[in-house]
Amino acid sequence: MGKVYLVGAGPGDIDLITVKGVKCIEEADIILYDRLINKDLLNYAKKDVELIYCGKLPHYHTLKQETINKFLVKHALKGKVVTRLKGGDPFVYGRGGEEAEALANQGVDFEIVPGITSGIAAPAYAGIPVTHRELSSTFAFVTGHRKEGEEEELRWESLAKGIDTLAIYMGVSNLPYICSMLQKHGRKKETPVALIHWGTTGAQRTVTGTLETIIEEVKKADIQNPSMIVVGEVVNLRSKLSWFEKMSHDQENASIAVNAL
């Protein structure tokens, strides 16, 4: 029997994958990879590796989750080393738990290789710490998908009143709803908000505002998925701590200067 590695590829910057994650890519006979991984990571793979694309877009899935689960089991039972390569961390909104269950149910040997999740990395690259002794002692990862009903109301009430910093995944399309629910349940309209598009990559862009203004700011900047939403007072530290975009800007200016010589 083979083995399956459920590997977190990190948030986008190729250097942010773990050493163990790279080893799993190098050893794999088959790699099933998602849309948001840095494709340059596949250069670590063997020349004869079989690559299977499993990318998902909002409202469109290349492969259904059930099919991915079957592929993992099928190839492992054939004696193959299978690496399932996921953006961020496989157990943070990556359906890694579902895949691990499918493997366990079939008696397939597997390992979980954690990765850096974008809920921490994207804010860090935007100069926003998710915790801070004076501003944020609690933070939460939240899915931005909208639900209906009383349970949903209770969820937003607890998030609005009980958590200092929110890192919201997959929430761009529901941003008006998110801002509305947080204000409805007690967050002040002046609460700082940031959206970080393609965090940790060369395409990173960050837009800031408040619960009252961020929707208009996002429209003006045409921010789309994939983007991380950060809500909380720590967003105000960006003006002082922003380093990555400044570094990228300085490198771009230096390159322009060299080319002009």
Residues labelled as active-site residues: 34, 56, 170
d(CA 2, CA 181): 47
The angle subtended at Cα 239 by Cα 236 and Cα 240, nearest 5°, is 100
Nearest CA to 158 out of 119, 189, 130, 185 is that of 185
Nearest CA to 40 out of 77, 74, 13 is that of 13
Nearest CA to 190 out of 232, 224, 250 is that of 232
Residue 55: is it exposed, middle or buried by C-beta count within 10 angstroms (0-12/13-18/19+)? Answer: middle
Say if CB 173 and CB 58 are below 8 A apart: yes
The DSSP result for 69-128, as a single string, is HHHHHHHHHTT-EEEEEESB-TTSSSSHHHHHHHHHHTT-EEEEE----HHHHHHHHTT-
Residue 215: is it exposed, middle or buried by C-beta count within 10 angstroms (0-12/13-18/19+)? Answer: middle
